[in-house]
Structure 1
């Protein structure tokens, strides 16, 4: 079975219903989030988010929700922001949706901004993981979307990342977030979450992909539902699909095998592969690969450019998947 032979369709009528926490985070609750005592901001963010999602309308004639309409969790890679966001989703009353910022922009691109805002305005809560601050165009589109939906009463919780190199230096993204969302900033309370990446991976410690023969031997011995694709062919296939379809490539699949990882010279291909990795990771699938070392996949200019956070996240997740 090959992913390159799959061309999944998207049903707009059911798309909103599909935006739920991915399988990898099914066990993420407030009870299973254990703050690091060395970083008090983790426990504080947990309690404030839990209080926010448990808010109920006050007042008789014109009931209003107490506290901020939105919550923004600001922190580095691997400090538990997504865990807390999912925990809040489970406790929030419906209708509600959970999706990544990329999925939101892709969904709005598919539906159109006004139609997307109309559909999402029917929700009570929206949880957006990884709000991207490195693409002003998408950030402004999301700002317009949030203005349209929050005016209808939608409550929003979102996360974003601080680059690992900036941790401990006070350079969080709160000011940049406030600038991007401009007039909506007053509706959001910012919660900083400090800490260390629980994955504890550095570039020099990235796991090595298998050799070609080892990969093929493991593939043929693996009894589980699986796919096997050549890396260049996969990249070509991803170009032909709208990114919102990537999540549907893996229906019935437990393990993804990729042959011949190699440096990705085109930035658009690289960003598509980052989104592909996000889907594999979030769905809780296993990934096996042969070919070039992980640190060679994304050119240095990419990893220190405008989308550095995306590539940092992808390498962190690839390290966990292949480790």
Structure 2
């Protein structure tokens, strides 16, 4: 019998060590490679991106003291700094190569994270892989200087879902990327927005042109066009279930699930305001299936952005979702879907729809 847990009751604590241990591809992307990426022949930029990144990964040299398969959160590197030690290996020379980094630009669902994780797997270590918010959280946990000291010892830093939501992040990430590039660290990032347009529609980006330009200078842009693979060739998204159907569907679809989270949507979102987004991975780490009662349209921007992070963590872990209430294409208001964060919200709708399709229909994306 499954253990029923309530995420609304959880208040996970995450240490710096926990944060660092997570700097590797998630379960969903734990074994991907360039060979498992299936380019859409109608969009040649996908195959071109594979070739470009394959060459980029092959050009990366390992650092002394680093091992090929080590993630940023394993071995002596990052943890050595927490204990006051050196992380081994000297930083690369400034300006060692002309292409410090590659910036994958494209819409949601074209496989950018798959390509990013494939690059991580193909490159020698030590190396780090995390979302944009995880790097900003790392700075908060370690301090900016220690984060630089740690990451500059790595061969490769991969940054998924690169977006600038406020001026503080703009200044922070501009400094971080510049210092890592100067130390010879290779950078690969994914985003739905070209680097020169980061921050548009979110804050007065024109006041931070210098910082945004510094970020843009670190990367060569590689465009990845295409359709949302998560829904390519599948039936229409399932309608929400009636509330009294949820448990029966869960028991039928996932009889072997060990841990099932079951929450009223309002209770879950209320708890998200009490739990920092850096802890959401810990919040759902043991969950096999999510059951959500009475999903509602989110009308508050701060809550919407928190739910974006939760959706990413659920998608990373491939947690099927069974839900009642409004369908997930109505999760955000029309105003939000047309505003400055629309690309984040479209990604979340795409990912949550894929998880609901898996939970209620047994269908998965390609």
TM-score tier after normalising by the smaller chain length: 0.7 to 0.9
Is structure 2 residue 30 aligned with structure 1 residue 26?
yes
Pick aligned residue for 1:71 from 98, 102, 109: 102
Is structure 2 residue 263 aligned with structure 1 residue 214?
no
1:15 & 1:89 partners in 2: Cα distance?
A: 18
Q: Deviation of residue 134 (structure 1)?
A: 5.2
- CA 1:9–1:316: 2 relative to 1, 3 Å: same
Report Cα offsets for 1:157-203 as digits up to 9, x if no partner. 001115xxxxxxxxxx25425966423433321111122221347xx
* Preserved CA contact (<8 Å) 1:264 1:299: yes
**What is the SS of the residue equivalent to 1:199?**
helix
2:54 & 2:98 partners in 1: Cα distance?
A: 12
Is structure 2 residue 169 aligned with structure 1 residue 147?
no
* Preserved CA contact (<8 Å) 2:102 2:219: yes
Report Cα offsets for 1:289-321 as digits up to 9, x if no partner. 111222332111111111111110000011111
Is structure 2 residue 286 aligned with structure 1 residue 265?
no
**What is the SS of the residue equivalent to 1:76?**
coil
Q: Deviation of residue 97 (structure 1)?
A: 1.1
After superposition, where does 1:162-201 map in structure 2 within 5 Å?
Answer: 173-176=194-197, 181-200=212-231
2:349 & 2:245 partners in 1: Cα distance?
A: 22
Is structure 2 residue 317 aligned with structure 1 residue 283?
yes
1:143 & 1:191 partners in 2: Cα distance?
A: 20
Identify the residue that residue 122 of structure 1 maps to in structure 2: 153
1:185 & 1:109 partners in 2: Cα distance?
A: 23
Kindly tell me the number of residue pairs found equivalent between the two proteins: 307
Q: Deviation of residue 122 (structure 1)?
A: 2.7
- CA 1:243–1:298: 2 relative to 1, 3 Å: same
TM-score by length of 1: 0.87
Q: Deviation of residue 234 (structure 1)?
A: 0.6
**What is the SS of the residue equivalent to 1:311?**
helix
After superposition, where does 1:225-236 map in structure 2 within 5 Å?
Answer: 225-236=259-270
Q: Which runs of 5+ in 1 are unaligned?
A: 163-172
1:301 & 1:212 partners in 2: Cα distance?
A: 28
1:293 & 1:47 partners in 2: Cα distance?
A: 38
* Preserved CA contact (<8 Å) 1:73 1:191: yes
TM-score by length of 2: 0.77
* Preserved CA contact (<8 Å) 1:132 1:139: no
Pick aligned residue for 2:342 from 305, 308, 315: 308
Is structure 2 residue 73 aligned with structure 1 residue 52?
no
2:299 & 2:275 partners in 1: Cα distance?
A: 19
* Preserved CA contact (<8 Å) 2:94 2:184: no
Q: Which runs of 5+ in 2 are unaligned?
A: 62-92, 200-208, 358-366
* Preserved CA contact (<8 Å) 2:195 2:215: no
Is structure 2 residue 273 aligned with structure 1 residue 239?
yes
1:127 & 1:18 partners in 2: Cα distance?
A: 13
2:260 & 2:20 partners in 1: Cα distance?
A: 28
- CA 1:308–1:159: 2 relative to 1, 3 Å: same
**What is the SS of the residue equivalent to 1:240?**
coil
Report Cα offsets for 1:197-242 as digits up to 9, x if no partner. 21347xxx54322111001333456441211111111111111111
**What is the SS of the residue equivalent to 2:106?**
strand
1:56 & 1:256 partners in 2: Cα distance?
A: 40
**More deviation in 109-118 or 283-292?**
109-118
Report Cα offsets for 1:101-153 as digits up to 9, x if no partner. 12222332333323322332232211011111454542332111112222222
